[in-house]
Structure 1
Amino acid sequence: MQKKTARAVRPPQSQNKPGTEKKMNPVPESEPVNQSGGKLQGKVAIITGGDSGIGKATAILFAQEGCDVVIPYLSETTDAKDTQTEVEQLGQKCVLIKGDLGKEPHCKKVIDKTISEFGKLDILVNNAANHWESKSLEDITTEQMMKTFHSNVFSVFWLTKFALKHLKKGGSIINTVSVTAYRGSGHLIDYASTKGAVLAFTRSLSANLAEKGIRVNAVAPGPIWTPLIASTFSKKKVSEFGSDTPMKRAGQPNEVATCFLFLALEDSSYITGQVLHPNGGEIVNG
């Protein structure tokens, strides 16, 4: 169903409480914006880090809704090809781009190749990130700090900057932040700092782009079972991962992907500058 157009200007009007919709001018829009299935038909999305974890689950879910996807990934080619296969089995195109998003020229290459392949870009999901556990601030070298910020913050800035001239009204930018952006992390100090930066970037850019009709939102996962977890922490921490949440378990990538889908859809057309929190029940007031 097509949306009505004139939303900003309404004639003066009043009613006795509690009021009735039929007397309102214009009448509030209550019908579903889109019907279920194929909600992203004909759309093109870039999903960084889509080779595994949350990015993979999001790529598959987007494809299920009719979206072609571009997956920039760092090095795990086997995982990336597995994701590509699953996307293509759903009848959608999937372009893989290997390389380091912490380098500005590669970010430009990702956007250029997307436009070359598809001629447009509708959705940008800045999801790729990295972290290293450190017991104290003194253990974090300048090299590690720079690497974390290049991977997690600069990549988001560069990709978004190069994507903007191709995103049109109705476009959506969705950034992955983290519960650590809200409560911090004693052993992931540099990582939590980058996620705080991406959170501020999300809110600032949303205000900047609101009049252009491009929405900017974020998803802040809690403990989610991904390869980054298994490759970062000790065996004991991995075995207990997520057990300290109110739900007493880690989440699965497909329990987070639905947040990205919602924020990519016109279903969330009145939401920008906001964050969804799939974190197992932790209250973070953000």
Structure 2
Amino acid sequence: MAALEGKAAVVTGGSRGIGRAIVERLARDGADVVFSFAQNADAAAEVERAVKEAGGNARAIRAELADPGAAERLMDAAGGHLGGLDLLVNNAAPGFAPTSIADTDEELYDRVMAVNAKSAFLTVRYAARHMRDNGRIVNISTLNTVRPARGIAPYVASKGAIEQLTAVAALELGARGITVNTVSPGATDTDLLRGTNSEEALRTVAGITPLGRLGQPADVADVVAFLAGPDGRWLTGQNIRATGGIA
């Protein structure tokens, strides 16, 4: 039997990059997956198609998580489709151009915090109320909370909030056998990374990474799958840095 056979999973931000890799890996491990996407319906449909061709089950639900009420509507819809909840992965994050603190406007700050921090809180709240015992919650953060970079203050602040949410949720849900962990990727080769960094910068990061390359989305998805499966049962409240050793 596959490690996640019969499990019901929700992944936020699952239409591209790391999120897509997580959806495909969880489905390959036997989970029935609902994932959210914000704008690109074609990309979401492609994920559904790829999972189906591989013998898995995945359904996309459009949810602009910066909008009030969107996270709760997503979880209600997903729970209705799946008939329950065993696994939640909070991966959604908005793209934005790096901007100094001095030049960051409130609208950008509010949007990043809404998608990254508030929606994660609301989906974890739903899980705390409705997830079956012995479930799994995995929140995706970033290397940048311990290795800061210029121009990404709202992003790092929101991910720091997610890490602290993980710590508290692990304490509150542990008695039910629910584990709550963070995975913090390093530089991972996605369209988002390449769209905001020069080739020279990417070569520099790969060069200072002990394993000598950029991460791949599948590298992160494999860590999530471990935490989601039975072998991850004794890990909770942890922040696993999937960085290739850079920090």
Name the TM-score class by shorter chain.
over 0.9
1:168 alignment partner in structure 2: 132
1:47 shift after superposition: 0.9
- Whether the aligned pair in 2 keeps the contact of 1:182 and 1:196 (CA below 8 Å) is no
- Amino acid across the alignment from 1:144: L
1:115 alignment partner in structure 2: 79
Q: Is 1:251 the counterpart of 2:215 in the alignment?
A: yes
1:153 alignment partner in structure 2: 117
Residues 1-286 of structure 1 aligned to structure 2 (within 5 Å): 38-234=2-198, 236-237=200-201, 242-283=206-247
Deviations along 1:123-145, whole A, 9 cap, x unmatched? Answer: 00000112434352101111111
Q: Residue 65 and residue 180 in structure 1: after superposition, are their counterparts in 2 closer, same or farther (change >3 A)?
A: same
Task: Please state whether the residue corresponding to 2:15 is helix, strand or coil.
Answer: coil
- Whether the aligned pair in 1 keeps the contact of 2:128 and 2:173 (CA below 8 Å) is no
1:247 shift after superposition: 2.7
In terms of mean alpha carbon deviation, does 118-127 or 205-214 score higher? 205-214
- Whether the aligned pair in 1 keeps the contact of 2:86 and 2:136 (CA below 8 Å) is yes
1:165 shift after superposition: 2.1
1:246 shift after superposition: 2.5
Larger relative contact order, structure 1 or 2 (CA cutoff 8 Å, min sep 6): 2
Deviations along 1:68-103, whole A, 9 cap, x unmatched? Answer: 110101112221111111111232221111121122
Query: Which has the larger share of helix?
Result: 2
Give me the whole-angstrom Cα distance separating, in 1, the residues matched to 2:205 and 2:231. Answer: 33
Give me the whole-angstrom Cα distance separating, in 2, the residues matched to 1:217 and 1:138. Answer: 33
1:60 shift after superposition: 1.0
Query: Which has the larger share of strand?
Result: 2
Give me the whole-angstrom Cα distance separating, in 2, the residues matched to 1:191 and 1:134. Answer: 9
Q: Residue 96 and residue 150 in structure 1: after superposition, are their counterparts in 2 closer, same or farther (change >3 A)?
A: same
- Amino acid across the alignment from 1:173: I
- Whether the aligned pair in 2 keeps the contact of 1:131 and 1:191 (CA below 8 Å) is no
- Amino acid across the alignment from 1:225: D
Alpha-carbon RMSD: 1.7
In terms of mean alpha carbon deviation, does 194-203 or 233-242 score higher? 233-242
Unaligned runs of 5+ in 1: 1-36
- Whether the aligned pair in 1 keeps the contact of 2:37 and 2:63 (CA below 8 Å) is yes
1:27 alignment partner in structure 2: none
In terms of mean alpha carbon deviation, does 243-252 or 82-91 score higher? 243-252
- Amino acid across the alignment from 2:64: D
Q: Return the index of the structure with the highest Cα Rg.
A: 1
Q: Residue 54 and residue 270 in structure 1: after superposition, are their counterparts in 2 closer, same or farther (change >3 A)?
A: same
- Whether the aligned pair in 1 keeps the contact of 2:21 and 2:217 (CA below 8 Å) is yes
Give me the whole-angstrom Cα distance separating, in 1, the residues matched to 2:150 and 2:49. Answer: 39
- Whether the aligned pair in 2 keeps the contact of 1:152 and 1:194 (CA below 8 Å) is yes
Task: Please state whether the residue corresponding to 2:223 is helix, strand or coil.
Answer: helix
Give me the whole-angstrom Cα distance separating, in 2, the residues matched to 1:280 and 1:253. Answer: 12
1:236 shift after superposition: 4.8
Give me the whole-angstrom Cα distance separating, in 1, the residues matched to 2:151 and 2:206. Answer: 15
Give me the whole-angstrom Cα distance separating, in 2, the residues matched to 1:119 and 1:270. Answer: 26
Deviations along 1:196-235, whole A, 9 cap, x unmatched? Answer: 1111111111111111221100100000011211333356
Number of matched pairs: 247
